[in-house]
């Protein structure tokens, strides 16, 4: 399957670090050797080493939350204030922005990696920083799933966990969307990755948002503006991401079930000792607010709504609302 070399988003002036690990045993029993985990650490750990915020990125995100995809939320004077907190964001296992994954031909075939494996690997980095108490673990979409696994796997590690637009287990509808994307990539290689991104984009946005932005407007070339938008989204991802990594992360999302082997979702999250908050967006086509409310109620957690016409991508676009929610959890 042909695919372009992965290209990271425009680099910031900050330095990306790499943790080297001799051996990583995965949930399924496979063992990875000579593992690299790329990460950014912004801000400084205090003397007590208890001011760390761990941020988990979404499907095609990178370790650069502060300089790239969440720069309106993470930084000096922002909701996750890097003058008060050290902020750790690692590139998730299997991704293609510096962490070991199938983007490297020498690593193929790559074993199944789960959100539990991702959480465990980040926890090893937290341990290497000599942090015994994390102020907040937070993520959206895939990042929210990893945050839930982080809470269930290490119930005493984070004092608060915020999972945004994320289910406790991948739903049948989400599995179906993943299947369509895999078929597109299998049929079209790199071009299939672009098509998969178009499919995914239609789950990230709502019909109301697309109608308001594009309606039936056409471009000078005669094409509908919404067609050009989807093509642009597909080509952008094809230029910067790796198809093999995309498939690996889709598989991790499909395998996601925080209650697996733990007696169910309620038992898994009920053991968590910190403050657990779920955020849902009404109208989210990919993971509806009902998917979030179900695990929130099962776990006895708190729920916060994120109102947006955007849909699933609201955690990336509604900066003021997201910032208010994050501040409330950090300061609560």
22 annotated active-site? no
What does the DSSP assignment read for 39-98? EEEES---TTS--EEEEE--TT--S-IIIIITTTTEETTSSEETTT-EEEEEPPTT-SSS
To the question of whether residue 64 is assigned a binding role by annotation, the answer is no
Cβ–Cβ under 8 Å, residues 102 and 93: no
Q: Helices marked H in the chain — which ranges? A: 115-128, 142-153, 172-204, 207-213, 225-240, 243-255, 265-270, 289-299, 314-317, 319-331
205 annotated ligand binder? no
For β-strands 52-56 and 136-140, DSSP reports them as parallel
285, burial (CB in 10 Å: exposed 0-12, middle 13-18, buried 19+): middle
Point out the catalytic residue in the list 40, 85, 170, 312.
Answer: 312
Is 284 among the catalytic positions?
A: yes
242 assigned to active site: no
Indicate which residue of 62, 95, 141, 245 is catalytic.
141
Triad 319, 322, 323: Cα angle to 5°: 80
Cα torsion angle, 111, 201, 194, 58, sign: negative
Given the residues 284, 289, 291, 308, the one annotated as active site:
284
Give the residue numbers of the binding site for substrate: 197, 313
Q: Which residues are catalytic?
A: 141, 284, 312
Give the residue numbers of the binding site: 197, 313
């Amino acid at each position: 399957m042909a695919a372009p070399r992965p290209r990271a988003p425009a680099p910031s002036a900050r330095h990306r670090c790499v943790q080297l690990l001799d051996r990583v045993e995965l949930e399924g029993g496979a063992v990875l050797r000579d593992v690299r985990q790329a990460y950014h650490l912004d801000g400084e750990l205090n003397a007590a080493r208890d001011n760390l915020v761990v941020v988990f990125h979404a499907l095609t995100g990178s370790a650069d939350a502060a300089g790239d995809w969440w720069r309106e939320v993470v930084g000096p004077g922002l909701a996750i204030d890097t003058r008060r907190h050290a902020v750790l964001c690692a590139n998730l296992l299997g991704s293609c922005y510096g962490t070991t994954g199938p983007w490297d031909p020498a690593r193929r075939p790559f074993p199944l990696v789960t959100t539990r494996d991702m959480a465990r690997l980040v926890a090893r980095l937290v341990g290497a920083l000599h942090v015994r108490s994390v102020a907040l673990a937070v993520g959206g979409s895939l990042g929210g799933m990893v945050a839930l696994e982080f809470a269930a796997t290490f119930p005493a590690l984070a004092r608060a966990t915020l999972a945004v637009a994320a289910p406790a287990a991948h739903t049948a509808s989400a599995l179906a969307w993943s299947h369509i994307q895999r078929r597109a990539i299998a049929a079209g290689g790199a071009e299939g990755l672009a098509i998969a991104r178009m499919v995914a984009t239609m789950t990230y946005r709502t019909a109301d948002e697309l109608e308001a932005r594009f309606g039936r407007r056409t471009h000078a070339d005669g094409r509908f503006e919404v067609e050009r938008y989807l093509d642009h989204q597909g080509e952008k991802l094809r230029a910067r991401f790796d198809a093999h990594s995309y498939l690996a992360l889709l598989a991790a999302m499909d395998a996601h079930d925080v209650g697996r082997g733990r007696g169910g979702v309620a038992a898994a999250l009920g053991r968590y000792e910190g403050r657990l908050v779920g955020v849902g967006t009404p109208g989210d086509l990919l993971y509806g607010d009902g998917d979030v409310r179900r695990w929130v109620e099962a776990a006895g957690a708190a729920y916060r709504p994120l109102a947006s016409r955007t849909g699933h991508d609201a955690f990336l676009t509604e900066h003021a609302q997201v910032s208010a929610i994050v501040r409330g959890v950090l300061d609560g």
